[in-house]
Homo-oligomer: A and B are copies of this chain.
Amino acid sequence: MHGNEHSREIKIGILGATGTVGQRFIALLAKHSYFVIHALGASQRSAGKRYAQAVQWKQTVPIPSHVRDMVVKECKPEHFAECSVVFSGLDADVAGEIEDAFRRAELAVFSNAKNYRRDPAVPLIVPLVNSSHFAMIPQQRAQHDPPLQKGFILTNANCSTTGVVVPLAALEKAFGPIESCMITTMQAISGAGYPGVPSLDIVDNVVPYISGEEEKMEWETLKILGGLTEGDDGLKVFDMHAKSPLRISASCNRVPVVEGHTECVSIRFAKRPPPSPQQVREALTAYTSDAYALGCPSAPRHTIFVHEEADRPQPRLDRDYQMGAGVSVGRVRQCRVLDIKFVVLANNVAIGAATSSILNAELAVVKGIIS
Contact = CB atoms under 8 A, between A and B. Distances in A.
Given A201-B199, A203-B203, A317 B264 contact: no
Contacts of A311: 207-209
B205 A316 contact: yes
Contacts of A209: 310-311, 331
Contacts of A337: 180-182, 247-249, 338
Contacts of A202: 199, 203
A336 B218 contact: yes
A213 to B, nearest CB: 12
A194 B195 CA distance: 12
A206 B182 contact: no
B255 A206 contact: yes
Contacts of A205: 257, 314-317
Contact of A186 (B206, B330, B331): B206
Most chain B Cβ neighbours within 10 Å, of A190, A208, A343: A208
A162 interface: no
Interface in A290-323: 310-321
A335 B249 contact: yes
Contact of A338 (B58, B249, B335): B249
Most central of A198, A205, A319, A321 by chain B CB within 10 Å: A205
Interface string A178-196: 0011101010011000111
Interface string A245-258: 00111010101111
A195 B203 CA distance: 13
